[in-house]
Structure 1
């Protein structure tokens, strides 16, 4: 990467902030000024500035979340322990009591988790399973809540960050409703102050999932209190939730930050808001329910064979409950016979509240409280996921690429030519998932092969924190096992690891001129953002396919473009990359294999073999030129790792193809096949490529007018 000069840094800052609306920038400036100034003021000045005009703490509602209450009698609380153990992000720390709530010894994200109090949920779920809560756990909740109140005065950070405050309000609410004896005046007063603080300090400067977390907390926390002011807070939050969902949920149901992990987080927080509103007898706007249903369908669509999902953008499996757990309880909430059977019982606290929807005269859906279900989460026996056919389509880019020298033209709406099969052999495509609004596709077939393709925008223009430079990356799974997978996310701390995990080289796509396709920098910033275009998808009797291009390298002097076509046959996977550039440069194509997998090269057939448990995957690279080089780098030298969870990094090997990209352009074809080596013939001349298989099936592409076209 090029060394940054002062002028380059200024330009990078400009390219980062130019997409952020002025009101959002102003909110960020206001937040930073208050964060630095208010903690320096004495408390008697800090309270009115942070909380406004205060009323005495209202009484708690008596009929709210009664289904969460644990059986009586509760055990006698032991004295506080000398130390308490906490495990967040796969990092365990033993902390002395009273706790040090903020320390440079913690990573920022670990410290945030300490302030969330999410561990309360684990204690309550264990209590429900066992029918009682033990004295140690009861004491841990009681003493640590009191310790937090004593150690974190108003507007001290990170305890009073709006995001940590949001999660803590919800978790404390569940705690005092499960254990009413906890609701002493000190805790009730602290909850009321946190609610008032959050009402005045919503994260408009961040937006996205952070703002939705704020709204959930105000809804669930506000319903705690029996007072008109609390009801006003809740009503405003419900209205804002409707508005934000209309902005943040794409037409295909995906959350607009395009991270499966954050999609599940958002879906869960919306569902909890709906459940608590219904339990309190409030009318739930139909808008919220409709968006929740869309989000559920997206989550079910991206589910891989064994319950995981692609780690697109910032995503880690320990950042949220499992996909099956979330979709199961949301399906129960919506009274749908959908959702996977839960092997782990009682993962959702609110699944203990049996609720259903009823239509009322105002065309809204009213959540009506039924009898409390004190059993564990309702189980669902299997799921039939509707097939989302990959019908041929073309999605026009919202912004035309003005690059006359490259003569970009829209791709025609055609399928790859298939020979050797009659119309009588035509069969429907397998249950693949097509989400063109978000830019995510998962091709599936009856051979238990799943091929995920990311042709998505990296992020909303104004919200780059969780974006990766990963456009046109692929993931390959066989029988639910990862074969070729993106790196994932192990941490948010700024530095070499964070930069690497967000980089183009960390994904299964192509890097040109040693640059990232999107200008990722810092922990959560992005300058110029790659824009996908010419998105198509389709199917023929034996093939499903998706193709797209992006403009991440189109700026002078390179003016380079990357086009990719990915196809899934019965046992084959084909990747066609068409690269073009104005000036000669270099390129690197990477395929990161799952930990434990090794590729062995057979020079006689020029095929790589990856041995799996019961069969093998064979891979062949076609279309190489004299200056191209393909090499397998094992886990010891690859500098590649797989990070399926925060705090975990597993070394793994990668296949790397690199060479010179000349002005005339380059076409590279990768063919993979399970069970036997691919026997193919590749012909490329006069702008046309033909890939012919041993059974006379053939795929054809045209490379003309600076565009990759399926012919």
Structure 2
């Protein structure tokens, strides 16, 4: 569970005096009403109408939300107090949904009119400010004067509190969200000009730090890339609605982030599973890309953020060939150096295991491990030490990837030193995709060491893939749901099929399989060679 850290100011925030300091003349209406381009899910809206509060893989049933349920994970509490789910009630439509939104907002106001470590955490407060302002026309514009006065009074105090905390301990996408809350408060509520200008100053600074020259986000997570792009689209929308000067950095960052988000998409429209990410909803990704209104084809290579894309024919391979994100920006980072994923058309074939919404604890330890990725593991040891409360300790330093393209074929080579200190080994990986996209070849080489270390090369399979070992024991036949067959041949160890787990498209674990190659290093290292080729249908075979 991610811990809510109140920080050194908690003793002050709890006092009645702090509540007095947050008081100011509250506005009676929004000065700027921003658009809200993000669709909600009517099914989730109906669940909220029925008192089912389902977030981050957990569900609670109650007439009113159990705002401080001690058994709930922090990701569930963050989502509940953030109110982004108001858009689902809006999507459900009708007076019942509008009344339920008012009941739930009133319930929150009754319990959290003053500071609380969970409800008033900076990233939670920022999300709630954005959600209440974005849903203003849905639940507040026609509300009675009493509720409107309470909401605007609370918004005023929340914005003043947030302005005291940002940037504070926030980093990465959480800091962009915190700044977004200040932008909404500063430009949409009258009389907040200083807050607005400080928010833009912070935003310019952070975009320089967080958006890499190739358009990748510094935290190296495709899901976080999607979040940052959405935040910037919202910020741009507020500035346009306010007819404020648009900082060049905002549009430039949108223009860079958009092609790189496309870079991380598989053929099914979802995202690759690196560094705490999920496949996400392809329709929502389409909406974000449409709202970005930024041209640019998917990149072939993103060297600054450290990923390579090998695409030919119907095949797409995404390869993590970079260093983990820096300390402080690695809360979601995984020990997945040199892992790869592969899709064929709209079907995923080779995957990483994904992540769990809890982000920390036992699931964090399991899914962030090197063994949960399609790469090589030495002595059941992570290539980077994984902290269960988030972040990495010891970490590898991959060398710069080398990429060569000839006649439509692509070869990428990379290496990391995550096993040098403990075992004296360097892991080298070469991936080659033929120009027709039907032949992927790989070589995993451990270089150095005195020998005697166990290793396992893993290829995690999507749950839709059927796998069977060949009679000779040196390969595996993989069958996609469409019926297309691919044969994986391997040398350099004992080939096996083992159980695995997949959490790429939801919080519920799905059983699947992994292909493994197990062996022991000799003095100087070891080499595993493999080839994944599409099976040709025999002449006269059924289609």
Conserved 8 A contact 1:580-1:661 = no
**TM-score of the aligned structures, taking structure 1 as reference length:** 0.69
Residue 344 of structure 1 aligns with which residue? Answer: none
Conserved 8 A contact 1:89-1:318 = no
Residue 46 of structure 1 aligns with which residue? Answer: 18
1:591 to 431, 435, 459: 459
1:545 deviates by 1.5
**1:316 matches 2:278:** yes
Q: SS of 1:644's equivalent?
A: coil
Conserved 8 A contact 1:253-1:291 = yes
Residue 479 of structure 2 aligns with which residue? Answer: 611
Q: SS of 1:574's equivalent?
A: strand
Separation in structure 2 between the aligned mates of residue 590 and residue 605 of structure 1, nearest angstrom: 16
| Distance change in 2, residues 1:532/1:280 (3 Å) | same
1:605 deviates by 8.2
Q: SS of 2:349's equivalent?
A: strand
Separation in structure 1 between the aligned mates of residue 533 and residue 277 of structure 2, nearest angstrom: 29
Separation in structure 2 between the aligned mates of residue 560 and residue 467 of structure 1, nearest angstrom: 22
Separation in structure 2 between the aligned mates of residue 387 and residue 525 of structure 1, nearest angstrom: 29
| Distance change in 2, residues 1:231/1:321 (3 Å) | farther
2:72 to 106, 124, 128: 106
Separation in structure 2 between the aligned mates of residue 149 and residue 166 of structure 1, nearest angstrom: 16
> Alignment length, in residue pairs?
517
Conserved 8 A contact 1:618-1:676 = no
| Distance change in 2, residues 1:618/1:540 (3 Å) | same
Separation in structure 1 between the aligned mates of residue 95 and residue 430 of structure 2, nearest angstrom: 60
Separation in structure 1 between the aligned mates of residue 280 and residue 125 of structure 2, nearest angstrom: 21
Which structure is larger by alpha-carbon Rg, 1 or 2? Answer: 1
**1:525 matches 2:494:** no
Residue 527 of structure 2 aligns with which residue? Answer: 667
1:606 deviates by 3.6
2:449 to 578, 582, 586: 582
Residue 120 of structure 2 aligns with which residue? Answer: 160
| Distance change in 2, residues 1:545/1:82 (3 Å) | closer
- Map Cα deviations across residues 164-189 of structure 1 (whole Å, 9 max, x no partner): 11110001002224441246111100
1:525 deviates by 2.5
1:559 deviates by 1.6
Conserved 8 A contact 1:167-1:213 = yes
Separation in structure 2 between the aligned mates of residue 29 and residue 251 of structure 1, nearest angstrom: 33
- Map Cα deviations across residues 490-526 of structure 1 (whole Å, 9 max, x no partner): 2325433221100000000111122111111123121
Separation in structure 1 between the aligned mates of residue 528 and residue 119 of structure 2, nearest angstrom: 52
**1:86 matches 2:53:** yes
| Distance change in 2, residues 1:57/1:254 (3 Å) | same
Residue 25 of structure 2 aligns with which residue? Answer: 56
Conserved 8 A contact 1:494-1:523 = yes
Q: SS of 1:122's equivalent?
A: helix
1:203 deviates by 4.2
2:188 to 210, 224, 238: 224
Residue 181 of structure 1 aligns with which residue? Answer: 142
Conserved 8 A contact 2:374-2:458 = yes
Conserved 8 A contact 1:491-1:498 = no
Separation in structure 2 between the aligned mates of residue 487 and residue 553 of structure 1, nearest angstrom: 22
1:151 to 111, 114, 120: 111
**1:211 matches 2:175:** yes
**1:565 matches 2:430:** yes
1:615 deviates by 2.2
| Distance change in 2, residues 1:387/1:100 (3 Å) | closer
Residue 600 of structure 1 aligns with which residue? Answer: 468
| Distance change in 2, residues 1:82/1:533 (3 Å) | closer
Conserved 8 A contact 2:218-2:329 = no
Conserved 8 A contact 2:322-2:401 = no
1:318 deviates by 4.7
Separation in structure 1 between the aligned mates of residue 226 and residue 187 of structure 2, nearest angstrom: 24
Residue 495 of structure 2 aligns with which residue? Answer: 630
Gaps of 5+ in 1: 1-27, 69-80, 128-133, 339-384, 389-432, 678-711
- Map Cα deviations across residues 464-506 of structure 1 (whole Å, 9 max, x no partner): 2010000100101011211110011123254332211000000
Q: SS of 1:589's equivalent?
A: strand
Q: SS of 1:653's equivalent?
A: strand
Q: SS of 1:211's equivalent?
A: helix
**1:298 matches 2:267:** no
| Distance change in 2, residues 1:56/1:534 (3 Å) | closer
Conserved 8 A contact 2:371-2:458 = yes
1:458 deviates by 1.7
Divergent runs of 4+, >4 A = 28-31, 318-321
Conserved 8 A contact 2:312-2:408 = no
- Map Cα deviations across residues 329-366 of structure 1 (whole Å, 9 max, x no partner): 111xxxx5x5xxxxxxxxxxxxxxxxxxxxxxxxxxxx
1:82 deviates by 10
1:603 deviates by 2.6
1:124 deviates by 2.7
**1:621 matches 2:472:** no
- Map Cα deviations across residues 143-171 of structure 1 (whole Å, 9 max, x no partner): 11111011114221211111111110001
Q: SS of 1:146's equivalent?
A: helix
1:222 deviates by 2.0
Separation in structure 2 between the aligned mates of residue 614 and residue 217 of structure 1, nearest angstrom: 49
Separation in structure 2 between the aligned mates of residue 138 and residue 322 of structure 1, nearest angstrom: 24
Q: SS of 2:116's equivalent?
A: coil
Separation in structure 2 between the aligned mates of residue 282 and residue 223 of structure 1, nearest angstrom: 9
Separation in structure 2 between the aligned mates of residue 292 and residue 387 of structure 1, nearest angstrom: 14
Residue 221 of structure 2 aligns with which residue? Answer: 259
Gaps of 5+ in 2: 38-47, 538-543
| Distance change in 2, residues 1:552/1:544 (3 Å) | same
- Map Cα deviations across residues 189-238 of structure 1 (whole Å, 9 max, x no partner): 000000001000124313111111011111112222221xx011011101
| Distance change in 2, residues 1:176/1:534 (3 Å) | closer
1:66 deviates by 7.5
| Distance change in 2, residues 1:559/1:540 (3 Å) | same
Separation in structure 2 between the aligned mates of residue 38 and residue 317 of structure 1, nearest angstrom: 42
1:92 deviates by 3.0
Separation in structure 2 between the aligned mates of residue 217 and residue 110 of structure 1, nearest angstrom: 20
